[in-house]
């Protein structure tokens, strides 16, 4: 057994210690082509942390009735590191809600926080990387478990493909940064979708009738402004920062899948749009676009074009991106934000850009003109 | 130079793919990315497929139809550069599964030129960033905190 197998066993055992009186709060979402159940143990945590994926919620599934069952705890159950660092409560019941949910869905994710459950995270120093090195994900020998940590007070993301179970363990829920609330669980989503050829990508996406447009570019390039301009013009909206791409319904097609119903942008820029009140303001303000724009959310649309906007005062022009630019604007940001399974990520992104040429578009800075410019370019034959 | 061992892409932290007629190599350790065009891409593909570095001139001579400007020293220098950039390393065995023959031939786009590595370091900061952003408590997170503390 290697360290990741032990870590997974350790975190699931700690999960059994969570007092059952807090209840469990499962939701089931349609994540691209998978049904995923997410269980949290604090309603307020569920309401705030999972708000960005509420538009993906699938309602009307059978209700889970069996929540907990008695299970005698083994004497050595928590002694993976040779230290008795957790005292087993004789009244603790094994919560097997996730096992029930596995019967209903393709994957289950447990959302746990140390603050409300008062259960400490396990020791996971071996997952740390020095500050001057990129964040890394670790995989066990069999490739069945992946884990990574992120943040100053590290949150743990761990997935076990064999058990179809993942956990996100947050140290605290009182100060979740806006970028996490805007795109929660993205690392786990990327891992669990990756095997079926569906890839998270750092890009916005909108839909004009049956044309899905991927709006790529590194942070600050204008993805959010472009996608919000299209939203205000009545287009479909799929996401402003992270979406998924993968095989579509028809053979040989590629679709874009919505993941998050959020938009993050500077407040001054946000004044140009009719947005709801921001939920969080840190370096940017976070806006939840659902349910206000519920009718314009589309969960899947066939991909037609990839554009990289450059909002400027000049006139509209377009040119095809070089391979180096594609790597810089699409591949590197996606790889940087989504550690783990990098070879699969690069392969999936290569498949995408090999099938869809990417064009840089200089767009006049008048927001009203953006949708019409993109519509015109979509209809044109670009070289 | 090790005459016995083969070269291969460094297994730790190096990923690569063929995009069109280029090979893109990304270092996950540094965020540096490299573009290899013909004949650099062909040399990389040959090495990754189990070709010994001493056999490169002959292979390139075949693939590029005996180019007059093929220079053995330039090839050696290029391979040394692949190693100094930690893109490739010596290995005891290379199973030769890197690229199929058809891909290698499609990468060998004439005319033959001096092999070069295009190196890009402009995205290193993003790659090294652990996205820790400023944090401000909000109504929703305050409520969460209150609830959690109950």
Residue spans of the domains in chain B: they are 6-149
pLDDT of residue A84: 42
pLDDT average, residue stretch A56-80: 54
Cα dist from B114 to A321, B47, B75, B84, whole Å: 25, 17, 8, 18
pLDDT tens digits for A284-320?
A: 899 999 999 999 999 999 999 999 998 877 777 888 9
The answer to whether residue A116 scores a pLDDT higher than 90 is: no
pLDDT band at A24 (very low <50, low <70, confident <90, very high): confident
Residue A72 clears pLDDT 80, i.e. is over it: no
Pairing of strands A204-208, B6-9: unpaired
A95 — pLDDT class (breaks 50, 70, 90): very low
Q: A3 or A24: which carries more pLDDT confidence?
A: A3
CB A316 within 8 A of CB A382: no
Q: Which two tokens stand for residue A96?
A: 């097997």
The per-residue pLDDT for range B48-85, each reduced to its tens digit, is 999 999 999 999 999 999 999 999 999 999 999 999 99
**Interval A109-125 mean pLDDT:** 87
Chain A residue whose CA is closest to B11 = A343
The pLDDT value given to residue A363 = 83
pLDDT at A125: 83
Of B134, B136, B148, the CB nearest to A42: B148
Instruction: List phi, psi (to 5°) of A319.
Output: -150, 155
Q: Does A227 score more than 70 pLDDT?
A: yes
Radius of gyration of chain B (CA): 22
List, for residues A28-39, the tens digit of each pLDDT value: 999 998 999 998
Average pLDDT over residues A13-38: 83
More confident residue, A232 or A133: A232
Show which of residues 279-308 on chain A sit within 8 Å of chain B, judged by CB atoms. Answer: 279-283
Between A314 and A172, whose confidence is greater? Answer: A172
Mean model confidence pLDDT for chain B: 84
Q: How many residues does chain B have?
A: 150
pLDDT score at B97: 72
Model confidence at A76, pLDDT cuts 50, 70, 90, reads very low
**Res B141: pLDDT:** 38
Q: Using CA atoms, how far apart are residues B121 and B98, in angstroms rounded to an integer?
A: 26
**Would an 8 Å CB–CB cutoff place A178 in contact with chain B?**
yes
A218 in contact with B at a CB cutoff of 8 Å? yes
Q: Does residue A25 have a pLDDT over 90?
A: no
Q: Which of B17, B127, B143 sits opposite A44 (nearest CB)?
A: B143
For helices B72-84 and B56-63, the axis angle rounded to 10 degrees is: 110
What's the whole-number mean pLDDT along residues B37-42?
97
> To 5 degrees, how large is the angle CA B106–CA A342–CA A335?
100
Helices (H), strands (E): how many in chain A? Answer: 12, 21
What pLDDT sits at residue B73?
96
User: Is the per-residue pLDDT at A161 higher than 60?
Assistant: yes
Characterize the bridge pairing of strands A211-215 and A300-312. Answer: parallel
What whole-number distance in Å separates Cα of residue A202 and Cα of residue B49? 32
CB contact under 8 A, B29 and A134: yes
Give the CATH architecture of domain A199-379: 3-Layer(aba) Sandwich (3.40)
Cβ(A63)–Cβ(A103) below 8 Å: no
Query: Using CA atoms, how far apart are residues A102 and A178, in angstroms rounded to an integer?
Result: 30
ipTM score of complex:
0.83
Put simply, the answer to whether A332 touches B126 (Cβ < 8 Å) is yes
Mean pLDDT, all residues of chain A: 85
Q: pLDDT grade, residue A1 (50/70/90)?
A: low
Write out pLDDT tens, residues B98-118: 899 999 999 999 999 999 999
Cα–Cα distance for residue pair A239/A361, rounded to 1 Å: 19
Q: Return the higher-pLDDT residue of A5 and A72.
A: A5
Instruction: Read off the pLDDT of each residue in A14-33 and give the average, rounded to a whole number.
Output: 81
Instruction: Identify the pLDDT of residue B3.
Output: 55
- What confidence category does residue A338 fall into, taking pLDDT thresholds of 50, 70 and 90? very high
Mean pLDDT of A44-73: 71
* CB-CB under 8 Å, A332 with B26: yes
Average pLDDT over residues A169-186: 88
Residues of B with CB below 8 A from A355's CB? none
Per-residue pLDDT of A127-147, as tens digits, reads 888 777 778 899 999 999 999
CA dist list (Å): A250 to A41, A303, A357, B80: 39, 12, 20, 47
pLDDT of the residue at B68: 94
Taking the CA of residue B132 and the nearest CA in chain A, the distance in Å comes to: 6
Report which of residues A317 and B18 the model is more confident about.
B18
Burial (CB < 10 A; 0-12, 13-18, 19+), residue A79, is middle
Across A18-22, A74-78, A188-192, A356-360, the highest mean pLDDT is recorded for A188-192
Q: How far is B13 from chain A (nearest CA, A)?
A: 9
Answer whether residue B135 shows pLDDT above 60.
no
Which residue intervals of chain A bear CATH 3.40.50?
199-379
Per-residue pLDDT tens digits for A180-192: 899 999 999 999 9
Per-residue pLDDT band for A59 (boundaries 50, 70, 90) equals confident
The whole-number pLDDT of residue A383 equals 58
Closest partner residue to B148 (CB to CB) among A116, A283, A342 is A116
Q: Look at A341 and A44; give whichever has higher pLDDT.
A: A341
Report the alpha-carbon distance of residue A37 to residue A144 in Å, rounded.
19
Mean pLDDT, residues A6-15 taken together = 88
């Amino acid at each position: 057994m290697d360290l990741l197998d032990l870590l997974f066993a350790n975190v699931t055992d700690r999960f059994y210690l969570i007092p059952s009186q807090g209840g469990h709060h499962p939701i089931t979402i349609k994540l691209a082509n998978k049904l995923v159940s997410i269980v949290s143990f604090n309603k307020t945590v569920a309401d705030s942390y999972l708000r960005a994926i509420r538009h993906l919620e699938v309602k009307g599934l059978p209700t889970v009735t069996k929540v907990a069952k008695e299970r005698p705890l083994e004497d050595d159950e928590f002694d993976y590191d040779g230290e008795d660092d957790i005292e087993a409560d004789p009244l603790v019941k094994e919560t097997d809600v996730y096992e029930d949910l596995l019967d209903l869905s393709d994957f289950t994710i447990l959302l746990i926080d140390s603050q409300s459950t008062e259960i400490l995270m396990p020791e996971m120093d071996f997952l740390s990387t020095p500050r001057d090195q990129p964040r890394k994900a670790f995989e066990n020998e069999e490739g069945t478990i992946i884990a990574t940590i992120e943040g100053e007070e590290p949150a743990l993301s761990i997935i076990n493909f064999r058990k179809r179970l993942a956990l996100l363990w947050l140290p605290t829920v009182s100060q979740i940064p806006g970028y996490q609330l805007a795109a929660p669980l993205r690392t786990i989503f990327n891992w669990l979708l990756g095997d079926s050829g569906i890839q998270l990508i750092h890009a916005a996406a909108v839909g004009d009738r049956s044309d899905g447009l991927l709006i790529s570019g590194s942070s600050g390039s204008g993805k959010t402004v472009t996608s919000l301009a299209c939203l205000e013009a009545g287009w479909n909206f799929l996401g402003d920062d992270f979406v998924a791409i993968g095989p579509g319904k028809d053979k040989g097609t590629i679709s874009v899948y919505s993941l998050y119903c959020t938009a993050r942008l500077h407040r001054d820029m946000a004044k140009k749009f009719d947005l709801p009140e921001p939920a969080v303001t840190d370096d940017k303000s976070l806006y939840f676009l659902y349910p206000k724009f519920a009718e314009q959310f589309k969960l899947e649309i066939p991909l037609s074009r990839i554009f990289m906007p450059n909002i400027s005062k000049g006139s509209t022009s377009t040119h095809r991106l070089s391979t180096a630019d594609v790597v810089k604007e699409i591949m590197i940001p996606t790889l940087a934000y989504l550690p783990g399974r990098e070879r699969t990520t690069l392969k999936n992104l290569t498949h995408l850009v090999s099938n869809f040429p990417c064009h840089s578009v200089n767009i006049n800075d008048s927001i009203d003109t953006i949708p019409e410019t993109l519509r015109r370019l979509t209809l044109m034959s670009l070289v | 130079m090790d005459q016995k061992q083969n070269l291969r892409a460094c297994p730790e932290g190096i990923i690569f793919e063929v995009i069109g007629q280029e090979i893109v190599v990304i270092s996950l350790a540094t965020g540096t990315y490299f573009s290899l065009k013909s004949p650099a891409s062909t040399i990389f593909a040959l090495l990754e497929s189990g070709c010994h570095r001493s056999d490169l001139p002959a292979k390139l001579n075949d693939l590029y139809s005996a180019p007059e400007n093929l220079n053995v020293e330039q090839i050696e220098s290029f391979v040394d550069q692949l190693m100094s950039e930690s893109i490739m390393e010596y290995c005891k065995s290379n199973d030769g599964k890197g690229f199929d023959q058809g891909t290698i031939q499609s990468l060998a786009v004439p005319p033959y030129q001096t092999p070069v590595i295009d190196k890009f370091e402009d995205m290193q900061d993003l790659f090294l960033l652990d996205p820790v952003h400023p944090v401000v408590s909000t109504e929703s997170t305050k409520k969460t905190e209150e609830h959690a503390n109950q």
